Amino acid sequence: MTIGAGLEAILQPRAIAIIGASQDATKIGGRPVQLLQRFGYPGKIYPVNPRATEVQGLPAYPSVEALPEAPDLAIIAVSAEAAPAALEACAARGIRGAVIFSSGFAELGEAGEALQAQLRDTARRSGMRVLGPNCLGALSIAEKSIATFSIVLESSLPPAGPLGIASQSGNLGSYTALLARERGIGISRFLTTGNECDVDIADGIAWLARDPATKVILCCLETCRDAPRLIAAFEEARQAGKPVIVLKIGSSEAGQAAAASHTGALAGSDAVFDAVFRRAGVWRVQSVEEMLDLGHAAAVLGLERLPKSRRVMLLTASGGFGVLLADAASAAGLELPMPSAGTQRRILDAVPYASPRNPVDATAQMSSRPEILEQILSAILDDENCDSLLLLLSSSLYLPRLRNVYMQTLTAIRARYPEKVVMLTVHGPQDAVEELTAMGFPVVDGVGPSAQTLAGLCGLAAARDLPPPPAPVAAAGPLPPDALRNEYGAKKALAAAGVPVLPEKIARSAREASEAAQAMGFPVVLKVLSEDLPHKTEVGGVVLNLADAAAVAEGYDAMLARVRQKAPTARIDGVLVSPMARGGTELILGAKRDPVFGPVVVVGLGGIFAEIIQDVAVRPAPVEEAEAMEMLRSLKAFPVLDGARGRPRADLPAAARAIAALARFAAAHAGEVAEIDINPLLLLPEGQGAVALDALLVPAAAQ
């Protein structure tokens, strides 16, 4: 079934039956009956209750079979034990959608899971779309379709507007709608998926992406039960020009399990969700308030008016507020360009004692007369380095005189600069905020939230230009057994996939090691080969910089003695003799099979402190070279690779090729390999390439 198909029966029903309808409007079977009548639902309402002939003034029916027609939607508010039979009756009657409020299913264990499986089977067999169980239901504002018992409707409906809410958590989704109503922010739909026996969060996102009433999608996400569906829904929203803003809570227990490699420790489950969001152009927030601020601002601007870049100029009437705003903007990743000399002269012409740099402190004089404020705003907005302007009004709108100045000026500015992004930081009366919003100004309360919102708008703008996701990689044939046995076999397999490695030989005696070293040239490195010793340095299984044959022979014997003492039961396949690579910068490069999203690739600065520093970039595999280069540029340590402080610039294209090759390998062997660890990948100076100095493949059976 197409993702999101059939949800119109739930979100746009022409008639609704309530199974388990109650005369008591405080019960979950009574609330929908009351709310549908109270808020003027225009369709038919059919209470179903075998023990009543009337419910809340409406004729009641003893069963679904007795209804005069098959409604589009059935709300099921009966016990968990009775819910499967109720759903089956709905399917037999030809009802196309159901919302199941009832709890007591998979969230309670094995017995509940069995009941939930019955619901799933009925949905799949009949083609019904079933929301829940254990959910808070759905709400469509324009249609006044109410299939929820949420307290958000206690006093009034939220205003109609462009924000669609899809939430796995009923309470989080309900709170989002409640907060939107309190702020006067309009919503289109509200959908909570609960246990997701049929309709899941991907369905909700995809349907909202096609919904003309929805312009921005807000998503409260706890987990992902079907990664390809979720990613496809994100992509459909992006293609439709509907920004998706996600509040992701919790993390996978599987992702926190002890990992067999450095990669496994670095690519935690939350980092993988971040990587999936980044590739899909989804913006992640950390709170409901941040989600609403950004969603509302994006809706006010529209996709065509989002910021062109992260360059923003700040205007305040206070030096202290200016510094506070600059700190918040910098922390949010925004850029603060210097106004041109001409812009600064125009600001000083308006207010001679202003500070015309960025942030611009125009003092309280800027709000003394509309023409002064308009002169300053025009100077800044005309500057070619200004892609957005953040104007801090503080609490000025509470004063009628200042409110008049700002409203008059901003009306003129909006008409003169219709395409410019001007965001307002305002703590003021609700009617003033609504007036400014109606003009087309995003309004946010608070310095930090304003900066975060503007940064989010920049992120949503960048998502418009993202390339399509890489084409899937076909599964490859099985690897040779030695690939999963030790470093030598792992490197051979990776080299065949395009990962660069050094020429190496296996020695099984001190004499063989010395002869191999002489053939390849000194200095050399010796490393113990053992499938039981993934971290060789911990048992003294690595000897570096051996300069002659005698040192090699002595190092061979001493190293094996140490290993046998520290790991007496380890199976040893021999000793690997490799050239001693010098110079360059160490990266850690790897891949792991995420339990939700499958293979992901990881890159970061290498060395023994990689897991402590946690400066890594993560992406789902496969990865193209352009995206691999973006991964490198996202590292905090990127200046080290890019020639900071006189260092030679590293061969970044070689690193990108190695990342892309590893990602293809990881995707092709996802069923066979659980983790891949290349630590380090030695990145040589520009034009000299890269080489994997150590490698480990962890078989799937080992996890």
E strand spans, 222-272 = 244-248
Residue 647 lies in a domain: yes
Look up the CATH number of the domain holding residue 349: 3.40.50.261
pLDDT tens-place string over residues 58-72: 999 999 999 999 999
Domain that holds residue 572: 503-579
Mean pLDDT, residues 457-475 taken together: 91
Look up the CATH number of the domain holding residue 555: 3.30.1490.20
Mean pLDDT, residues 327-354 taken together: 97
Residue 65 lies in a domain: no
Mean pLDDT, residues 79-96 taken together: 97
Strands 312-316 and 388-394: parallel
Single out the residue in 406, 432, 463 at which a domain terminates: 463
Instruction: Tell me which amino acid residue 383 is.
Output: D
Length of the chain: 703
Single out the residue in 412, 431, 463 at which a domain terminates: 463
Residue 135 lies in a domain: no
pLDDT band of residue 30 (cuts 50, 70, 90) is very high
Do 450 and 314 belong together in one domain? yes
pLDDT value of position 609? 52
Asked if residue 502 lies in contact with residue 578, where contact means CB atoms within 8 angstroms, the answer is yes
Average pLDDT over the chain, rounded to an integer: 93
Question: Cα separations (Å) of 421 from 216, 310, 374, 379, 405?
Answer: 18, 11, 15, 14, 20
Q: In which residue are the tokens 């309402």 written?
A: 45
Look up the CATH number of the domain holding residue 689: 3.30.470.20
Give the max Cα distance, the chain.
Answer: 100
Does residue 621 have a pLDDT over 60? yes
Region of residue 194 (phi > 0: left; psi between -120 and 50: alpha; otherwise: beta) = left
pLDDT band of residue 263 (cuts 50, 70, 90) is very low
Residues 6+ apart with CB under 8 A from 404: none
Higher pLDDT, 475 or 263: 475
Do 420 and 311 belong together in one domain? yes
Residue 121 lies in a domain: no
Does residue 240 have a pLDDT over 60? yes
pLDDT tens-place string over residues 117-154: 999 999 999 999 999 999 999 999 999 999 999 999 98
Residue 144 lies in a domain: no
Do 569 and 619 belong together in one domain? no
Do 554 and 671 belong together in one domain? no
Q: Kind and range of the H or E element at 620?
A: strand 616-620
Do 365 and 385 belong together in one domain? yes
Mean pLDDT, residues 525-543 taken together: 92
Distance between CA 344 and CA 327 in Å, rounded? 21
Mean pLDDT, residues 162-178 taken together: 95
Distance between CA 449 and CA 569 in Å, rounded? 58
Higher pLDDT, 267 or 565: 565
pLDDT value of position 619? 96
Instruction: Tell me which amino acid residue 295 is.
Output: G
pLDDT value of position 612? 62
Residue 473 lies in a domain: no
Task: Write down the number of H helices and E strands in the chain.
Answer: 23, 29
pLDDT value of position 134? 95
Do 593 and 573 belong together in one domain? no
Mean pLDDT, residues 176-185 taken together: 93
Do 324 and 406 belong together in one domain? yes
pLDDT value of position 703? 54
Distance between CA 428 and CA 539 in Å, rounded? 65
Higher pLDDT, 210 or 585: 210
Distance between CA 262 and CA 269 in Å, rounded? 14
Do 405 and 539 belong together in one domain? no
Mean pLDDT, residues 516-537 taken together: 93
pLDDT band of residue 261 (cuts 50, 70, 90) is very low
Does residue 535 have a pLDDT over 90? no
pLDDT value of position 414? 96
Do 600 and 536 belong together in one domain? no
Do 452 and 516 belong together in one domain? no
pLDDT value of position 254? 45
Do 372 and 440 belong together in one domain? yes
pLDDT value of position 277? 96
Residue 5 lies in a domain: no
> How many domains are there within the chain?
3
Does residue 174 have a pLDDT over 70? yes
Does residue 98 have a pLDDT over 70? yes
pLDDT tens-place string over residues 373-413: 999 999 999 999 999 999 999 999 999 999 999 999 999 99
Do 598 and 551 belong together in one domain? no
pLDDT value of position 137? 97
Asked if residue 211 lies in contact with residue 164, where contact means CB atoms within 8 angstroms, the answer is yes
pLDDT value of position 264? 41
Mean pLDDT, residues 607-611 taken together: 58
Single out the residue in 463, 486, 515 at which a domain terminates: 463
Q: How far is CA 580 from the centre of its chain?
A: 42
Mean pLDDT, residues 223-239 taken together: 94
Residue 321 lies in a domain: yes
What percent of the chain is modeled with pLDDT above 90?
87
Single out the residue of 600, 491, 588, 46 nearest to residue 268, CA to CA.
Answer: 600
